[in-house]
Amino acid sequence: MDPHRAETPVGLDDPRLADRNDLALRLVEAARLSGAVLLAMRSARDVKIKPDGSPVCSADMAADRTAKQALARLLPGIPVISEESAAEVAPGPVFILLDPLDGTREFLAGGDSYCVAIAVICGDRPVAGAIAAPASGRSWFAGETAFAQAMGSDGATSGEARAISVRAMPAAGATTLVSRFHGDALSDHVATAMGSTATLPMSSAVKFGLIAAGEADLHVRGGQTMEWDTAAGDAILCAAGGIILTLEGVVPRYGRIDRHFCNPPFIAAASEDLCRRAVAAAGMLRG
């Protein structure tokens, strides 16, 4: 039997896909449980360097196991493509993208903006996503509607979930979130061109949650990212009224084995107008 092929692939007519908000609740439960594992293993420093040059430690692997166990219980039968085992599973019509520790460098440096990110992909677009940031006690999730909810160190929810949405552009100008460890000239150029009044360094998919919740406006990424880095944030930001576009001005597509799950450069923004203006600014730099 081909190990990359599921025996009974989940189809687009699976009844579980009809309620996207319920999907998001299942994803965020798995994300919070994995986040609690990361928080408990905060002192892990047994770092190895993977073939792509990125670091991995025991906390990554423990969170990966926890997430997969939870997803097998909450969404059985849907294949899970994880950062830590992407070569072992192929995407079907419906699949899950999992990053058990997005922001490993942030985690190892003792920072707070690392997270677990999980998304359900139907065809080539995310229909539900969840991000759990255990060190800051925050989670964001979305299906049809985007929500934010506090979480405890054990992964349990704290308080009620509240619906979130992007904000209108502040009169003073955009707040742009830039990568703490992966800065690039494109990000700096676009932030300047868009008249950003603040550029805040931040790691991981937490950036998408902050834009979705109306706490920032723009994020530009010219360097390499992977599909599991962005799919959950894509789902959450779109449900909150924002958008992600590649520098060609189209929404990202997921499950691209031909690209080894690599994303093209992209811009995430609180509105399509802001995003397209930023894409145009990026195009001027690229010539």
65-117 pLDDT, tens digit each: 999 999 999 999 999 999 888 888 889 999 999 999 999 889 988 899 999 99
> 124, 142, 163: which is the final residue of a domain?
163
CATH of the domain at 221: 3.40.190.80
Asked if residue 4 is part of any domain, the answer here is no
87/183 same-domain check: no
238-247 pLDDT, tens digit each: 999 999 999 9
Helix (H, G, I), strand (E, B) or coil at 166: coil
Domain containing 59 equals: 15-163
Q: What is the distance between the alpha carbons of residues 139 and 136, in angstroms, rounded to a whole number?
A: 9
Q: What is the distance between the alpha carbons of residues 140 and 138, in angstroms, rounded to a whole number?
A: 7
208/260 same-domain check: yes
158/182 same-domain check: no
46/157 same-domain check: yes
Q: What is the distance between the alpha carbons of residues 148 and 129, in angstroms, rounded to a whole number?
A: 12
pTM for the whole thing?
Answer: 0.93
Asked if residue 227 is part of any domain, the answer here is yes
CATH of the domain at 26: 3.30.540.10
Query: In total, how many domains does the chain have?
Result: 2
